């Protein structure tokens, strides 16, 4: 297992070979998962082509599930990519946490299909929310492990940046956890609650900029 930590250095103390392999493997998993999302939407079968338009309209829950999942998985990938760009080395622990994260990413096409097929089911929506929360929590734990537990981050990364990224990942986790609770009360509200990711990220960005200005960075 010790060999998993090693890699070629880029001259700045960053072991590029090991991190590039981990990042490349992770990118491939994200790419497959995000591609499989569209395969959850089956081509409608009609005997009269005049019914095709109505069939497509009736499929809006499936398209909604696809677009929601696509952009959220995209946000997860951006977060993961940004994180690994700030790391200087890996450890076996980091790799295993990353594997757990990718497990939940791979499940997303199934949970998306389940939610789209049974859009009015609390069980289906809660399963989807739990899946999303698991990805977000894994991402949060991955950054905490790398940044605060084992100091795997580049020396050039300021403490304010470490804190800012942790806030972003934890806020995503909180939003999906709250969606789980909301689903038991109102399913549509639970599904649209994901949109709060946008204003929350904007607000966190402003908080980060103010902290940087206050610290003279």
- pLDDT value of position 101: 96
How far apart CA 78 and CA 207 sit, in angstroms, is 20
pTM of the complete model beyond 0.85: no
Flag whether pLDDT at 189 surpasses 60: yes
How far apart CA 48 and CA 197 sit, in angstroms, is 42
User: Per-residue confidence at 177, pLDDT binned at 50, 70, 90?
Assistant: very high
Q: What is the pLDDT of residues 62-88, one digit of tens each?
A: 788 788 888 889 989 998 998 999 998
Per-residue tokens: 27: 């990118």
- pLDDT value of position 6: 47
Q: What per-residue string of b and e applies to 53-82 under the rule 16 or more CB within 10 Å gives b?
A: eeeeeebeebeebbebbbebbebbbebbee
Per-residue tokens: 46: 């009609």
The CA–CA distances, whole Å, from 85 to 14, 31, 88, 180 equal: 10, 18, 8, 31
Flag whether pLDDT at 17 surpasses 60: no
**Higher pLDDT among residues 153 and 49, named by residue:** 153
How far apart CA 99 and CA 45 sit, in angstroms, is 38
CA 194 to chain centre: 12
Q: Which of 5-9, 54-58, 150-154 has the highest mean pLDDT?
A: 150-154
Flag whether pLDDT at 197 surpasses 80: yes
Output the DSSP codes for 146-191: IIIIS--B-TTS-HHHHHHHHHHHHHHHHHHHHHHHHHTT-HHHHH
- In the predicted model, what is the mean pLDDT of residues 13-42? 81
- pLDDT value of position 216: 64
How far apart CA 1 and CA 49 sit, in angstroms, is 59
User: Per-residue confidence at 1, pLDDT binned at 50, 70, 90?
Assistant: very low
How far apart CA 25 and CA 143 sit, in angstroms, is 18
User: Per-residue confidence at 49, pLDDT binned at 50, 70, 90?
Assistant: confident
């Amino acid at each position: 297992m010790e060999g998993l930590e090693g890699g070629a250095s880029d001259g700045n103390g960053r072991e590029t070979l090991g991190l590039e392999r981990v990042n490349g493997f992770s990118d491939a998993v994200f790419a497959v998962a995000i591609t499989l999302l569209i395969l959850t939407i089956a081509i409608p079968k009609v005997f009269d082509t005049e019914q095709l338009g109505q069939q497509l309209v009736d499929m809006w829950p499936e398209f909604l599930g696809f677009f929601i999942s696509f952009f959220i998985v995209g946000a997860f990938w951006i977060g993961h990519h940004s994180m690994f760009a700030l790391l200087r080395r890996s450890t076996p622990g980091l790799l295993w946490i990353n594997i757990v994260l990718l497990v939940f990413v791979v499940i997303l096409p199934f949970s998306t299909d389940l939610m789209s097929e049974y859009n009015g089911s609390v069980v289906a929506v809660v399963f989807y929310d739990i899946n999303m929360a698991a990805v977000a929590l894994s991402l949060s734990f991955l950054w905490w492990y790398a940044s605060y537990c084992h100091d795997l981050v580049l020396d050039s990364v300021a403490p304010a940046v470490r804190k800012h990224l942790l806030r972003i990942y934890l806020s995503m986790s909180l939003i999906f956890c709250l969606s789980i609770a909301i689903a038991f009360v109102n399913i549509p509200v639970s599904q649209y609650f994901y949109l709060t990711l946008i204003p929350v990220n904007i607000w966190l960005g402003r908080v980060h900029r103010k902290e940087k200005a206050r610290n003279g960075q």
